[in-house]
Amino acid sequence: MSDVMIDARDLTKHYGRVAALRNASFQVNRGEVVGFLGPNGAGKTTTMKILTCFIAPSGGTAQVGGVDIFDDPLAVRELIGYLPESTPLYTEMLVLEYLQFAGKMRGLRGAGLEARLRQVVEETSLGEVLGKSIGELSKGFRQRVGLAQALIHEPPVLILDEPMSGLDPNQASEIRELIRDIGRERTVILSTHNLAEVRLTCGRVLIISQGQLVADDTPDELAARAGKPRFIATVKQNGHSSSEIREVFSLIGDAASVKEQSGGAPGELKVEVVPEGNQDLRAEIFRAAVSAELVLLGLEQRGENLEDIFRQLTTGNGGASS
């Protein structure tokens, strides 16, 4: 096996007259965690279903671990651990029963199965619910069962469709840790709508829109493309006029522009400060407010603007609104 674990070439999929995917080509290497990003209906799930050989593309093909999805779907599926969207599980089964079933379907038996079970149960913190039936579980726990079955056979490739949905923040950070860990040696593709998630978990982002791949970059590069960060300061007015307050912040050396923003509560003023370059102005803004005896109620960084680039790339009109 070479280092290219997933090699999709010109994948196209038509559902009747709907083109769900159009000429999508990308590669994912061993040791990568790639985030699949796109608005609803962009074709993320469709791509994953094709890679797992659940559906066949109308055009193009893909190789997983060097095996073509048309030549040997069974061998491809053996290489993949898959978490489908919305985690469809047999709700009448007990968690342990289900994981045993998944392990057996993956060819695990006896002591080997036991050992793997113990490990995935620990990784996904399922210990306390092993004896419960899946139908009784909360969404987050169900999600973890879905992850556990995807991990059970230590697949070299993990394909996870919205793995973080429904997880509480603690669990999400544990799973994130787990995914990053797995991604060091193996290959992970995950889809999400959460841009912050991508920054935290993925080394690379594929953005897909209306069935077409519109970006393939690291999160940082994408953010850089999006342009400058912005800082929003919320200040108590205390009788100062808007222009007086803006004056205070425009004295900051690296501030390129200072604008009043709508949406402040009564008696409060929101000011947007944009730096000349990519500087972090939060400390300067704080100091300027203090020296002018302004009460700073809030300071946030509308930072990396991944949202903006996402919007620009995935809306037809170029996202002129931002």
Partner 1 sequence: MRSVLTIAGRQFRSYFNGPVAYIVICIILLTLGFFFWKTFFLFGRASAREMFRWLGLILVFSLPALTMGLLAEEKRTGTIELLITMPVTEAQVIVGKFLGVLGLYGVLLALTISYPLSISTLGDLDWGPVWSGYLALLLQGSAVLAIGLMASSWTSNQLIALFVALTLSVLFWVLDKFLALLPTNAASALQWLSFDYHFQSMARGVIDLRDVLFFVSVVVFALAVAFRALESRRWS
Ligand X SMILES: Nc1ncnc2c1ncn2[C@@H]1O[C@H](COP(=O)(O)OP(=O)(O)OP(=O)(O)O)[C@@H](O)[C@H]1O
**Binding residues for ligand X (CB under 6 A):** 15, 18, 20, 38, 40-46, 85
Please choose, out of 64-72, 82-90, 177-185, 273-281, the segment that lies near Mg ion by the rule CB under 5 A.
82-90
| Minimum CB–partner distance for residue 21 and Mg ion (Å) | 12
Residue 92 touches which member of partner 1, ligand X, Mg ion, none, C-beta under 5-8 Å by kind: partner 1
**Residue that has been written with the tokens 């004896």 in this structure:** 131
- Least CB distance to Mg ion at residue 85 (A): 5
Sheet holding 4-15, edge to edge: 18-29, 4-15, 59-64, 67-68
* Cα gap 231→305, rounded to integer Å: 11
Write the binding mask 208 to 247 for partner 1: x where contact by CB under 8 A, - elsewhere. Answer: ----------------------------------------
Interacting residues with partner 1 between 134 and 173 (CB under 8 A): 149
Query: 139-151 vs 169-185: helix axis angle to the nearest 10?
Result: 10
Binding mask 45-64 for Mg ion (x = CB under 5 A): x-------------------
Among 1, 2, 3, 15, binds partner 1 (CB under 8 A): 15
Own/partner contacts of 262-270, CB < 8 Å, gap of 24 or more, are: 264/234, 267/236, 267/237, 267/238, 268/234, 268/235, 268/236, 268/237, 268/297, 269/234, 269/235, 269/237, 269/242, 269/245, 270/232, 270/233, 270/234, 270/235
By the rule CB under 8 A, 82 interacts with partner 1: yes
Interstrand relation of 32-37 and 187-192 (parallel, antiparallel or unpaired): parallel
> Is 271:297 a contact under the CB 8 Å cutoff?
no
Give the residue with the Cβ less far from ligand X, 113 or 205.
205
The answer to whether 56 contacts partner 1 (rule: CB under 8 A) is: yes
Asked if residue 55 binds partner 1 (CB under 8 A), the reply is: yes
Strands (DSSP E) contained in 121-203 are: 157-161, 187-192
Site residues (CB under 8 A) for partner 1?
A: 15, 49, 52-56, 74-75, 77-78, 80, 82, 84, 86, 88-93, 97, 101-102, 104-107, 133, 149
